[in-house]
Amino acid sequence: MKYQPVKLKHTFLSINEIKERSQFFYNLIKKRRSIRQFSLKKIDDNIIKNAIKSAGTAPNGANLQPWHFVVIKNKKIKKAIKKAAEKEEEKFYNKVAPPEWLKALQPLGTDEHKEFLEEAPILIAVFEKKFSIEKKVKIKNYYVKESVGIATGILISALHYSGLCMLTHTPSPMTFLNKILKRPINEKPFVLLVVGFPKSNTKVPKFASQKKSLDKISTWFK
């Protein structure tokens, strides 16, 4: 396909408005917390649809959009995912994880029990597509991890901005998701987002709110 340029539609704002918005966004995003206790409150499909459409706008390799999002509301499927994830997590916490990893996880208070996989109203499994298959032709994708990582960041931001809470869950390995969700072999699970509202009195680890200062996370050449 040849290069066909079209005029950029950019909304130019005043400096004051830009400053206000930058502060507003930071104030909003800094309140995001990963939660592990969900209420049973349902979520309107349109909120999830808009968040996925937002994720689908992410910058990505050659605009090949190497992602697929599976939304799970079905109780039986959530139960199957919980069972499979807990089986992997049991091995992780009791056999596979080296002591230093378990030590790093201690302040988060996590263990092999994953009740939230059944409690939360919505799970979104994000898959990365190593390659795509269109009309039986294999199309290679580029910068897949980077693209799907950025899309997931936008998805999380959209859900948080909408007023929802979530957990980025990564049971390792996650290949059971292909089987349960009937996804093809060119797709690899990237993350399982657990989405909903917090249970009343939900507790979160104090440690995880301690973010590194700007000095520590950035270097500026002026």
- Neighbouring-strand partners of residue 198: 38
Distances (CA, A) of 35 to 69, 100, 110, 188: 21, 23, 11, 25
Distances (CA, A) of 66 to 56, 62, 86, 204: 10, 10, 28, 33
Cβ-based nearer residue to ligand IYR, 112 or 146: 112
Cβ-based nearer residue to ligand IYR, 29 or 102: 102
Q: Is 171 in the site for ligand IYR (CB under 6 A)?
A: yes
Residues 46-75 that bind ligand IYR (CB under 6 A): none
Q: How far apart are CA 213 and CA 178, in angstroms?
A: 39
Strands 137-140 and 165-169: unpaired
Measured at the CA of 170, the angle between CA 141 and CA 188, to 5 degrees, comes to 25
Measured at the CA of 117, the angle between CA 114 and CA 122, to 5 degrees, comes to 155
Q: Which stretch binds ligand IYR (CB under 6 A): 56-64, 168-176, 177-185, 186-194?
A: 168-176
Count of residues binding ligand IYR (CB under 6 A)?
9
State both tokens at 143.
């910068």
Cβ-based nearer residue to ligand IYR, 53 or 113: 113
Q: Is 78 in the site for ligand IYR (CB under 6 A)?
A: no
Binding test (CB under 6 A) with ligand IYR, winner from 35, 117, 169, 190 = 169
Residues 95-114 that bind ligand IYR (CB under 6 A): 105, 108, 110
Do residues 57 and 189 touch, judged by C-beta distance below 8 A? Answer: no
Least distance to ligand IYR, CB of residue 25, Å: 24
Q: How far apart are CA 98 and CA 5, in angstroms?
A: 52
Cβ-based nearer residue to ligand IYR, 60 or 128: 128
Binding test (CB under 6 A) with ligand IYR, winner from 170, 175, 207, 209 = 170
Cβ-based nearer residue to ligand IYR, 92 or 197: 92
Q: Which stretch binds ligand IYR (CB under 6 A): 132-140, 146-154, 164-172, 199-207?
A: 164-172
Interface positions with ligand IYR (CB under 6 A): 89, 92, 105, 108, 110, 169-172
